[in-house]
Amino acid sequence: MIHILFVCAGNTCRSVLAEAMMRKTLMERPALRERVRCKSAGLDAVEGAKAERGATLVAQQYDIDLSRHRARLLNARFMRDADLVLTMTTHQKDRAIERYPDCANYVYTLREFVQRFTSVESNRRQNPIVREILSMDREPSHDLDILDPMGQSLEAYQECARQIKAAIIALAEWLEEL
């Protein structure tokens, strides 16, 4: 069994979307359904907070319901139980490693992991969404970050969701090859 933990700041937007998209992907891929588990948490989460409205609206566009989500604060047990921790930004990755240095070997940003370990060339040929998102030119300092849509337009939430979805597809394809 592979346990994946998605991490962001508040566990009300990006990590929630990543967890929900991964769960949906697992349901659509029987080969993975029994081998992979996932959850999400936030470095600064307020326990019990609901998913952000923008995240909820965007999730609905992917046929995902976030109405039952409640934020969880990242803790040592979550980190220790994970086989792979995927943060939404480099800063969050650094903070997670600073708090839990014994887990550093398996903490990556979501985009970093996809770019480093998945078959990017294969994904670029096979999936147009993955091809578009992984090949985007972005500012070098934010190359590995998922866009933070908080306080922005619905379009920003949609772009964030597209970035996460592309990475989740690539991650699922990698997991299927294990």
68-125 residue pLDDT tens? 999 999 999 999 999 999 999 999 999 999 999 999 999 999 999 998 887 544 544 4
> Checking phi first, is residue 63 left (phi over 0); if not, alpha (psi -120 to 50) or beta?
left
Report whether pLDDT(138) > 60: no
Threshold 0.85, pTM exceeds? yes
What six digits make up the tokens of 173? 């394809």
Q: Which ranges constitute the DSSP H helices of 34-153?
A: 53-61, 76-81, 90-99, 110-117, 120-126, 128-134
Average pLDDT, the chain: 90
pLDDT band, very low/low/confident/very high, at 126 (cuts 50, 70, 90): low
Arithmetic mean of pLDDT, 44-67: 98
Contacts of residue 117, defined as CB under 8 A and 6 or more positions apart, other chains included, come to 174
Domains of the chain: 2-177 (3.40.50.2300)
Angle CA 153–157–163, to nearest 5: 140
Dihedral angle sign, alpha carbons of residues 147, 154, 55, 75 = positive
Angle CA 49–100–79, to nearest 5: 55
Note the pLDDT tens digit of each residue in 25-39: 999 999 899 999 999
